[in-house]
Structure 1
């Protein structure tokens, strides 16, 4: 009999009886009017709010008649779960939401039913602003900002200013009035009017405008009566995070006679950067019939953490501040401040401390690491901790939709389907991505099977993609997987060519591979990354359904461009997010809604935390606020940074560990002043932690004992037994280096052997490096400097072909420069300045060059027999010139180092160019009777006014050093043995760590 698995709904864990103290009972009691509950960290403000809701229900109300407002969707979800748990049973109409969600519900339920509108997400708002900006004449803006008005940064700052205007309850005329004689902000006021008009026409509202119009709606007598009849109470959590228009909406509800309970702690206000008003709590307390209740007992923090927080809060603004909590916990707790040698040492010690905490009895989910910034800083921490065997949980909410891995993968496939010839080089990435499912080894194996003489594996894959039957002929699973994806891309491309919408094209790509089932299984198994991927993809499909007008190939490319241009995270949080099981990595803002037994606040340095240097944008949202001078001052910014540090530290219930790297050459900022404000003497720790507490480190220690001839037989036997029983892949003998047999010696050499200048140079310098990078798939890809070199070569080619002047060359540079990726903005600016210098030197040299230009980027082939083996010299020369009767090759170089005189004399690339010219590779361009002249390297980064030019002596008529190099290369290829050779270039080799020439007999 076949058994059938059935879903069984488990009863939720019953809520325990919550014991309230006197102040909490006073706050919870059913009341009329406005009640403001103030309390420090851990005093039970959220508990008061949930219990007040429950008490109101016990008094005869129902959850659908109560409105609970939280500061974020995540906080609203947490409150909803807790209220339902305390209430017991199921609730369908629960109004637990954000202020914007409540405003949206009011507009739809009580507003004009004939007035349809759509709520814009933050990325949609910015895209709409860019569209409006693109349609404005240049004279709309003052002369000094016209160049910036078309940039993304300007659009982002403009969106922030308009949002702040509505948060402050300002209309366009009032913005112009505040602007005074500042032309820029007067133009902002005019743009504000245009923005509202266009939004009305399209029925689109942003969040701030939504709340503003809800306040206007409440002024209608019928709407006010409906609110009084519909609602029995308003409950606001974290009221200190309300911006001005939001707290005025709450005040409007209180004036209607609705009971309002608001919990707050002004010293934990984190949203100042997005308009959270410092006067929100004071304004609510100043309303008629408002009462104040203070919570004085701290239930979260240990005495040590409470004392540190009390010292820190003494430097915070005391306006409307709650009293210092009195801790009830008896265990003393721990607070430490530690300074390490550098950021790497700080991360290493952090990993050791986290693992030590688990050995002391903590669970991974009891631990949290809090940073000032998210993004790259958290990604780096996650990589380091994961590499050391520590499970981590990272929120994906801060990343824009286009930055999500799953979204990028699906959009890359859509781009390839829409424009296969332009995106064909992305095929290997698609095959090894989630849609293809191959790993790097499988891809290399497939590429080798497809290789033909004179081609590389990438070219072979692209050829097979154009003719999938070649993949079918191979008959293995790897080839079948590649063939399925290639045919799927072709199918979607055909659908787009016939005009299908973007949503259908995305669905065909998604449903046509095993990826959905893999993600589903991973999500059901509790994989947090899979759940985040699914959330992001749901958001992508949701956006595609709202852009049904985008059809065909052009529509697909437009959709991709819009997603990639989004720089703001859309809301992809789902209600049933998995509970974390690893160490939480998050920012102070994300940490506010959580509590952990042990919290590590890291990288607390000046310039980072606090970020004390005020760098206002061209448009500053604080300019519209009444207290904009205070908010924008250094003191105001430091105060905001101190509040975020205070919140981060307050999340620790038992132990708080604050750390920072000490200043050095690469990290000059000293530890932050905040470290000393905790009242704890900092401890300096030098050097890395002693020993690594990871499975890999344990295996290494056991292997070291096992292989040490000085170890006793008993000790070696014990190590061997533990390795045999240890359930880790690194403990298996079959995975140890040297335990496997060498690979097959079979080696098939192409006929003819294709040799380029760069491959000859690589084979001569180090055959091992050449093989690993060219045939072993170990090439790490082209870095930023290589890409900059490509840009320079492209512009130099265009300048020579189209006779561009310097201004036109720089304009071309500015067109392509945004496509380059640099780790830091200052690096991009610095490199661009250097490239402008390169182009300036090249322009002068090209203008005054006495030679006659025969061609640029000239391909060549020349046949030659070397040691009885047919050889085909192949390549492309940057410039081919005629100087009198001499044919001269010029190779453009953008490297920062130049070859020495000795290296130049036997420079392989220049030698190959000379030999190819002598063999007639350029006879179709050169007039009869020309002879080969001295080739040169044009060093574009070197030279004062014009580039420095390095010449190579002409090859002799007889046997030369180049013949020796070619024979050596052919012999290496014929033998199939690629030995390592030590040279000055080893310091830059990516395979140095495993090289027997550099580390003979060393640790691999």
Structure 2
């Protein structure tokens, strides 16, 4: 018999689905064994589907659908199941019978439900007369498929759904009949946006005199205040009270906060009544609107035809849900409630553990009370014992009889319940990752049969990243963060905003664009682009900075034609994508979905993230998360276009960039066959696993005994409206126990609990509850149970072991790993043992034609101090700091001006200041003060030389001469002539370290150049050489460091010539080696700090 599932994003019903995030861009239609695909509009307009090619897509979807069917166990039929006596009672419930069915985890509640529904469908009821309700979309999806394939008959709709989905269909049927706009659901993020706007409007006014002091402006601006206000409004809607009634409750119960925020509640309701929100409802008002419709005797056929309503996980019913069910059965339909009050996890949404008993008692007529008492054979007895102990600590909430199936509370716990306490979080993580990999690799448990449960989403994020780093593939259930805060969607939205509303192009805007991941550039690539643009500018005789050139690149994309290399290719593609998307943004009728798709489809990330997501580790996890967020964003864009056809892309993009909480979407979600599930207890509804791990059991984390909604008192209001005493509402420990009970109940075969007992952490009381005792704190330092860890362990054994057999075993293991190309296994990849590939120089260091060695005086001192450092610096291995860049600018100023006064010199410096680059404004201000000091010192020096009778002969005077095998070429900062005609060579220094002149090789080479007639410009006549001097201006006052004249000191002359001969041989790389003269200078960030990378010891070594 054929089975079809049709989905439409405008229908809340289609929120129940099963495909993984890797296929979410497509909506499959499954008809028997034939798979068809219907594409969203954007795919019909593009040449290829998103994320991957069609051939791979088809096979992926087929395998995923098959995997889902295997998970559901759809090959078995209920007829073959041996029902227990209590399950048979449920299955044999006949017309006219209401029932309250209690059952602990593993007692067969789902089996009994399916048996009942199929039995009634095969005997006296039609599919349209049966309604099966589940607590969430995921459990409804699973149960829907199982019922449909077991029933093997045509149905007018899904047999199982959520109550919100059913209520939505009631409103839609009415809207279609009356010609109204179809109903829409207001998402949680839209709620938050409305509340945020209401608060913003309120804060513009003066606070009333009666306003509670604790609700200060700073508090009301916090996201937490919005969350509490949203919870309070939800409670009001669930109990159908008005703002006026909220004020009255505040006055009666002496709660001024309720009185104060009542206007926000009124404003929220007013917003929902605005024309723009016609027939739009949040989850709570959706149910109350349907209740009012039924009370007005407006019963659509999907409600009036009902004869049997079965509710799974009925312990999660909220007041509004219970009220709607009460209305639905008022026409004679039977109600069967199935659940376990001890497993209530949605108390934060006003779910009441007593709701099952209260609801069934409020319905006219008798009801059957049934406790499922199966043998629990699908759960190991050790886990049943832990469940019994946990349930005993929970308030029974007018139930409790179902616990008898768990047995006594003093059962001994065996080895299927593992517990460890560690000294550090890192030890806890390492052990848990090791244990999970053991279970998967050695015991054959699929990753999908393992779950890690944590108390909160924040803790899950931490464990997800930590486990992924240990090669445990993970996936986190549920919404994560808002689109603007997700890495992938946030960057895509900001890129879209740039195309929709182009800002003024500044350095900051350009760099933000280039650093966007969809540009495909990293910091090094951006630097290369800047350097290439700067080189082109200098070659053309210009002096614009790289910042100015980057701005021109975006203003005139044709400039990119002059660029080459992989970085240039990506920049050109990025500029074309931006241009195309901006054209699309200006096209009438374009949608946000098309705009986002234009930016995504051509980006390097479209293929890179898909490839990365196929692996394991933290990179794969983040890539998968990036794709999941993008899928959800496209789904949200599609919904927005359907709901707001008149709105443009800018409205959607700006709206998403303003929202702070995750948006609920209809993007397809499912359990991933290849990954460990990370979840909170509330997301475990309808899910079972062979292995459940509960790490991080720390007091204050789990249990978290902090009062809920302590600022506005939403829980207290819920208790008051439910008829409970306010002083009895401190039930945090019971709520925490229920969450723990739910987590334990999700395991069928194995339970693992871990904790850290450290100086700043306290063990959770739940550790003793589960294990019966506190384990000894241990230090875990075993090798990582991964291929990478195995490689490291074998390499360590190969080097350190003295046992020849052990070393041979290690070598054999490494050889096997090397054959499968495991990184790090082959000796060719080991640092510290490789020989030189070739004795030849990497680059030619001499002139190919003349064989001369080129020597630049400014680099000579670097070579003498450390040849390796000179080689690195001479071939691009260093970056210029401020002093070096400013020194270049100052030399330029001295070359272009003859003024010596501070004012004139500083004006020249200021005219060129824009050519310098700074990381931040405060850095620029700091360096500006330093520059002013250096210019002042320079002016002082020049004035002193003038007063002493020295005249300027030339600045930036070129030198070019041959000295043995060397060709010396460079420029001298200044040549001055004294009153007696003597010549003085001056070198200006702006560096941070105070220089020495006596044996300075650069000054010595300048003097030799003068003696060899190597200067392009020298004074006429036979003028003596006074010597040379360094003028250091980066100090409190100018310091002159003289060097004696080589003409007057033959010993010094000979010293420098011998030094030059050695340097020439070294620079020519006669022995193809550059010596690293290791010393304190290697770690000096002001001088030779770029050598320190070569001083790092090798990770591995071999004899």
User: If the length of structure 1 is used for normalisation, what is the TM-score?
Assistant: 0.72
2:290 matched to which residue of 1?
214
2 CA distance for matches of 1:67 and 1:980? 81
Residue 160 (str. 1) matches residue 160 (str. 2): no
5 Å matches for 1:283-294?
Answer: 283-287=358-362, 288=364, 289-294=366-371
1:653 matched to which residue of 2?
748
2:84 matched to which residue of 1?
21
Please tell me whether Structure 1 or Structure 2 has the larger radius of gyration of its CA atoms.
2
Residue 586 (str. 1) matches residue 679 (str. 2): yes
Change (3 A) 1:686 1:61: same
The residue matched to 2:488 in structure 1 has which SS? helix
2:735 matched to which residue of 1?
640
Change (3 A) 1:711 1:332: closer
CA contact (8 A) 1:39 1:322 kept: no
Equivalent of residue 69 in structure 1, options 133, 154, 169: 133
Equivalent of residue 692 in structure 1, options 784, 804, 809: 784
Bigger shift: 457-466 or 312-321? Answer: 457-466
5 Å matches for 1:294-305?
Answer: 294-297=371-374, 298-305=376-383
| 1:391 positional shift | 1.8
CA contact (8 A) 2:479 2:664 kept: yes
1:56 matched to which residue of 2?
120
Residue 535 (str. 1) matches residue 631 (str. 2): yes
The residue matched to 2:686 in structure 1 has which SS? coil
Change (3 A) 1:570 1:228: closer
2 CA distance for matches of 1:456 and 1:343? 49
Change (3 A) 1:432 1:235: farther
CA contact (8 A) 2:385 2:412 kept: no
2 CA distance for matches of 1:344 and 1:575? 35
Change (3 A) 1:462 1:979: farther
CA contact (8 A) 2:133 2:310 kept: yes
| 1:70 positional shift | 1.2
CA contact (8 A) 2:869 2:1091 kept: no
Bigger shift: 701-710 or 23-32? Answer: 701-710
2:716 matched to which residue of 1?
623
CA contact (8 A) 1:313 1:646 kept: yes
5 Å matches for 1:86-485?
Answer: 86-88=150-152, 91=155, 93-110=157-174, 113-116=178-181, 117-136=183-202, 138=205, 142-143=210-211, 144=213, 145=215, 147=217, 148-149=219-220, 151-180=222-251, 182-201=255-274, 202-203=277-278, 204-223=280-299, 226=301, 229-287=304-362, 288=364, 289-297=366-374, 298-319=376-397, 320-324=399-403, 326=405, 334-358=416-440, 359-375=442-458, 377-417=459-499, 418-419=501-502, 421=504, 425=508, 435-437=518-520, 449-450=532-533, 452=535, 464-485=553-574
1:904 matched to which residue of 2?
none
2:822 matched to which residue of 1?
728
CA contact (8 A) 1:41 1:300 kept: no
5 Å matches for 1:724-873?
Answer: 724-738=818-832, 739=834, 863-864=889-890
1:572 matched to which residue of 2?
665
Bigger shift: 719-728 or 265-274? Answer: 719-728
Change (3 A) 1:695 1:150: closer
Residue 43 (str. 1) matches residue 107 (str. 2): yes
1 CA distance for matches of 2:427 and 2:350? 38
1 CA distance for matches of 2:55 and 2:582? 42
1:916 matched to which residue of 2?
935
Change (3 A) 1:326 1:257: same
CA contact (8 A) 1:597 1:655 kept: yes
Structure 2, unaligned runs of 5 or more: 1-53, 847-855, 897-905, 907-917, 921-925, 943-991, 993-1033, 1044-1063
Any idea what the Cα deviations from partners look like across 1:615-671, whole Å, max 9, x if unmatched? 64432212322348867878411111111011112222112111111032xxx2311
5 Å matches for 1:946-965?
Answer: 954-959=1036-1041
1:820 matched to which residue of 2?
none
The residue matched to 1:361 in structure 2 has which SS? coil
2:1025 matched to which residue of 1?
none
2 CA distance for matches of 1:958 and 1:342? 58
2 CA distance for matches of 1:597 and 1:625? 37
CA contact (8 A) 1:416 1:424 kept: no
The residue matched to 2:353 in structure 1 has which SS? coil
Bigger shift: 332-341 or 163-172? Answer: 332-341
1:795 matched to which residue of 2?
none
The residue matched to 1:78 in structure 2 has which SS? helix
2 CA distance for matches of 1:676 and 1:469? 70
The residue matched to 2:270 in structure 1 has which SS? helix
2 CA distance for matches of 1:977 and 1:459? 41
Change (3 A) 1:633 1:353: farther
Any idea what the Cα deviations from partners look like across 1:809-863, whole Å, max 9, x if unmatched? xxxxxxxxxxxxxxxxxxxxxxxxxxxxxxxxxxxxxxxxxxxxxxxxxx98874
Any idea what the Cα deviations from partners look like across 1:919-964, whole Å, max 9, x if unmatched? 469x9xxxxxxxxxxxx9xxxxxxxxxxxxxxx9723442399xxx
2 CA distance for matches of 1:686 and 1:548? 61
Bigger shift: 206-215 or 327-336? Answer: 327-336
2 CA distance for matches of 1:619 and 1:1003? 64
2 CA distance for matches of 1:221 and 1:681? 60
CA contact (8 A) 1:444 1:777 kept: no
The residue matched to 2:693 in structure 1 has which SS? strand
The residue matched to 1:138 in structure 2 has which SS? coil
1:875 matched to which residue of 2?
none
Any idea what the Cα deviations from partners look like across 1:523-576, whole Å, max 9, x if unmatched? 99999657624531323313552456655xxx73x6445323323322235446
Change (3 A) 1:251 1:533: same
2 CA distance for matches of 1:992 and 1:699? 31
2 CA distance for matches of 1:349 and 1:455? 57
The residue matched to 2:457 in structure 1 has which SS? coil
| 1:346 positional shift | 0.9
CA contact (8 A) 2:815 2:826 kept: no
| 1:726 positional shift | 3.7
| 1:578 positional shift | 5.6
2:579 matched to which residue of 1?
490
CA contact (8 A) 1:296 1:324 kept: no
2 CA distance for matches of 1:339 and 1:295? 36
Bigger shift: 108-117 or 478-487? Answer: 108-117
1:948 matched to which residue of 2?
none
Equivalent of residue 143 in structure 2, options 79, 90, 93: 79
CA contact (8 A) 1:301 1:327 kept: no
Bigger shift: 150-159 or 481-490? Answer: 150-159
Structure 1, unaligned runs of 5 or more: 780-858, 871-879, 881-891, 895-906, 924-935, 937-951, 962-970
CA contact (8 A) 1:706 1:720 kept: no
Change (3 A) 1:389 1:248: same
Change (3 A) 1:914 1:594: same
2 CA distance for matches of 1:993 and 1:71? 63
